[in-house]
């Protein structure tokens, strides 16, 4: 992993996507139907964006060939789910380049093999169909991914709860807000253990007495 990717990713490794989503002002939540392809998969790194035509993964091969260590490949195939755009061959190629993971708005295949390689993959579905490798797409452009616009260099964080995208120019701001939020949550949990309620600590409204009852 190069120094830039490592320094950014390392700072965010201790945060879960939900905390970062809240710290970002409830922005950047990717469609929750894009899920980890195997249990335990996690993403953290700057995005390399890929736009592929439906059922063709040529641009994913180009993205892997030029990838820098530590990046997360974020790709869209127009939501097409009948072909597996990523499998074991691309996984081995990506790991050899130091790629930190893949998030694809489309389908993948060879999940048992990918799990065995411990390569993080998030996708909208699984499909055994084969892609063509003929039609050009685009690399390193803003793409719409799971309802969120992702630009090259944006930070991608994902785990079993889902994926959040943090815009590159807001990374430091979100990091500071996440630190404050984590400290606040630690304080709240300590007070809960001492007997306080969430109603008290969060200032939640009380229950209205049903009419006709005293």
Q: For residue range 160-174, what is the model confidence (pLDDT) as tens digits? A: 999 999 999 999 999
**In the predicted model, what is the mean pLDDT of the chain?**
93
The span from the CA of 52 to the CA of 200, in Å, is 51
Instruction: Confirm whether pTM is higher than 0.85.
Output: yes
In a domain, 203, yes or no: no
Predicted confidence at residue 1, as pLDDT, reads 41
Domain span including residue 56: 3-174
Please compute the mean of the pLDDT values over residues 77-105 and round it to a whole number. Answer: 96
In a domain, 204, yes or no: no
- CATH of residue 63's domain is 3.50.30.40
Position 2 pLDDT exceeds 60: no
Q: How many folded domains does the chain comprise?
A: 1
Q: Are strands 143-145 and 43-51 parallel, antiparallel or unpaired?
A: unpaired
Position 32 pLDDT exceeds 90: yes
In a domain, 186, yes or no: no
In a domain, 133, yes or no: yes
In a domain, 145, yes or no: yes
- Greater confidence (83 vs 9) lies with 83
Please compute the mean of the pLDDT values over residues 128-133 and round it to a whole number. Answer: 96
Query: Which DSSP helix (H) or strand (E) runs through 22?
Result: helix 17-23
């Amino acid at each position: 992993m190069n120094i830039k990717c490592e320094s950014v990713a390392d700072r965010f490794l201790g945060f879960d996507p939900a905390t970062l989503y809240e710290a970002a002002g409830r922005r950047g939540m990717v469609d929750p139907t894009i899920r980890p392809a195997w249990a335990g998969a996690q993403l953290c790194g700057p995005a390399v964006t890929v736009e592929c035509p439906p059922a063709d993964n040529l641009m994913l091969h180009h993205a892997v060939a030029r990838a820098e260590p530590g990046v997360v490949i974020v790709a869209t195939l127009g939501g097409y789910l009948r072909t597996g755009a990523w499998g074991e061959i691309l996984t081995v190629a990506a790991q050899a380049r130091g790629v930190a993971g893949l998030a694809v708005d489309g389908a993948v295949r060879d999940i048992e093999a990918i799990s065995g390689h411990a390569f993080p993959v998030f996708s909208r579905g699984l499909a055994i169909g084969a892609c063509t490798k003929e039609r050009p797409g685009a690399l390193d452009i803003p793409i719409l991914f799971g309802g969120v616009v992702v630009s090259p260099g944006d930070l991608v964080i994902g785990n079993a709860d889902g994926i959040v995208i943090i815009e590159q120019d807001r990374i430091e701001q979100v990091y500071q807000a996440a630190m404050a939020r984590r400290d606040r949550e630690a304080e709240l949990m300590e007070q809960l253990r001492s007997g306080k309620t969430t109603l008290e600590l969060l200032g939640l409204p009380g229950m209205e007495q049903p009419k006709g009852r005293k």
